[in-house]
Amino acid sequence: MRTHKATPEMVITNTDPYEAPAWARTMQRFADYLVCDFLGGPRPWKFAWVINFQKAGTFVFLLALINYYDNTSTAVWIYTAMHGSYGLVWILKDTAFPDANWQRRITIGGGINAFLGVLGWYWVFGWLLISGVAQPNYPLPDVVWYCLCISLCITGSAIMIAADAQKFFTLRVQPGLITDGMHRYVRHPNYLGEIMIYGSFAMMVWHWLPFVVLAWVWLGIFAVNMIMKEASMSRYPEWASYKKRTWWLIPFVL
């Protein structure tokens, strides 16, 4: 789950910046209200605390499910390793180079909304598989499918970590539009990485519900955030040439 807001160092006057579509601005304002301002009142939590609770708790939650349902199948252990390890990777990332957007103070209602509306659904993926509700019949032999899912998860984690690290450390010393490294060919590599990661989880579960949840997150949150981010980046003089030679999300596809 990601969000993007323009930071002071990103505001560079360009001769022809463009504004994000009204529907995207409206959706982002609505999402910000739901997860940051819902019901008003004091703001005792940082957004990062809610996210990190879910990420750090994933391993514990999945192991508890394994114990409760006494399901020790190969698919269950592989899924637990993938999703649980990703949660630990996220905690390491947040410790080493935290995203400023997650440091916002939010209301209690907003934190509950963030967990129940998005983050908590990721735990449902594991429950579907471990409880036996999902009985995956993979389109390829199991060992081949496991290899595909694990590879997708690891590669996505590397892309996400590298992109976020590049953004964090580059902007500390050289504010401006990042056009090299992980951003050389794709304008939103961090989102691409997360899509690969959660896509691998859905593929392991192989049930319709995770794909519905991811469709909502990717189209209703990720796509909106990327549109808003591009409107912000259009303020840079080199934006037009950068956009022309790069892909939005997936090289040679999109």
Residues in Cβ contact with 158 at an 8 Å cutoff, skipping those fewer than 6 apart = 193
Distances (CA, A) of 64 to 49, 59, 83: 22, 9, 14
Per run of 10 residues, the mean pLDDT along the chain (length 254 residues) is: 43 62 94 94 96 97 98 98 97 95 95 95 98 97 98 98 96 93 96 98 98 96 95 94 95 88
pLDDT in tens, 120-173: 999 999 999 999 999 999 999 999 999 999 999 999 999 999 999 999 999 999
Q: Look at the pTM and tell me if it is higher than 0.85.
A: yes
Tell me how far apart the alpha carbons of residues 11 and 177 are, in angstroms, rounded to a whole number: 10
pLDDT, tens only, 214-226: 999 999 999 999 9
* Contact by Cβ (8 Å): 252, 62: no
Q: With contact defined as beta carbons under 8 Å apart, do 66 and 130 qualify?
A: yes
CA distance 64 to 72: 12
Query: What are the structure tokens assigned to 211, written together?
Result: 């794909």
* Separation of alpha carbons 49 and 68, rounded Å: 27
